[in-house]
Amino acid sequence: MPIHDWTRVSAGTWHAFHLSWIAEIQEALNDGRMPPDYYAQAEQIAGPLGPDVLTLQEPDPPANGVPRYRPIGGDDGGVAVATAPPRARLTAAAEMNDYVLKRRTLVVRHNSGDRIVALLELVSPGNKAARHALNSFVDKAAEALFRGYHLLVVDLFPPGKRDPHGIHAAIWGEFSDDPDPLPPGEPLTLAAYSAGPVKRAYVEPTAVGRAMIPMPLFLTPEWYVEVPLEETYTAAYRGVPRKWRAVLDAPPAAPEPPATE
């Protein structure tokens, strides 16, 4: 199913679809796409970066009271970057300086030992509604990567005055002085980030009317699972009310003819 122009409908209509899409993604990831000791869970955390979906890893039985986590192997269901690089057309890498890597952070974790591995975020109009909202979103995305949480961002809204080069350029500007701008005619963004010591970005620019490719959700810097964005988008779209489907499915308006004297 091609991407729709979600600027045609209210933020509330997008929000309702957004909830359904997240549920479909969670179900798809937990239905055999994850290695056996990983799972995805929709969860709301305070702040502009929800996240929409957490990828969590269950620990092995503790050794001396310390949870242990198994490395991913080829039989676990993950995909190795070395043998099957993500399909996204644009890539970038950036190393953090020593000062950034040594930043002190306070992290509160559940005593079950399950740990956050990756985050998935569907960008909403509210994330771009004001300069403060966009800055907060970008800051939280960068902080997640600094902490070692891998990240997948899906932005089906075109750039505005606050993110003129797209959401990826806004995020990657925290790591590089020269982020790639979006290509002409492709204003929407699918961006996956690997949060190893070298941060890596895999970006697929896209547009209204295009189908979405599967995007990687990293579990380690070397391994990822593919998120079936197209399949889950189509499943979630079936629940959109007919009133709004009629608006979203309508052909684009013809351009105004030039004025004549």
173 found inside a domain = yes
Helical ranges in 29-115 per DSSP H: 98-101
246 inside domain = no
Residue 113: predicted pLDDT = 65
Q: Does residue 163 lie in a domain region?
A: yes
What is the rounded distance in angstroms from the CA atom of residue 151 to the CA atom of residue 138?
Answer: 12
For 152-196, give the DSSP string. EEEE-S---TTSTT-HHHHHHTTT-SSPPPPPTT--EEEEEEEES
22 found inside a domain: yes
Domain annotation covers residue 188: yes
Question: Cis link prior to 51 (omega < 30° from 0)?
Answer: yes
Q: Quote the pLDDT of residue 111.
A: 42
In a domain, 248, yes or no: no
67 domain-assigned = no
> Can you give the pLDDT at residue 185?
94
Provide the pLDDT for residue 115: 81
Tens of pLDDT along 151-185? Answer: 999 999 999 999 999 999 999 999 888 777 788 99
pLDDT of residue 74: 59
Spans of the chain below 50 pLDDT = 46-48, 98-111
The predicted pLDDT at position 106 comes to: 38
- Phi, psi (rounded to 5 degrees) for 30: -80, -5
Query: Measured at the alpha carbon of residue 180, what is the angle toward residues 174 and 186, in degrees to the nearest 5?
Result: 120
pLDDT of residue 94: 87
In this prediction, residue 61 carries a pLDDT of 57
Domain count, the chain: 1
b/e code 35-50 from CB counts within 10 Å (16+ = b): beebbbebeeeeebbb
Residue 65 lies in a domain: no
Range of the domain at 22: 6-60+75-241
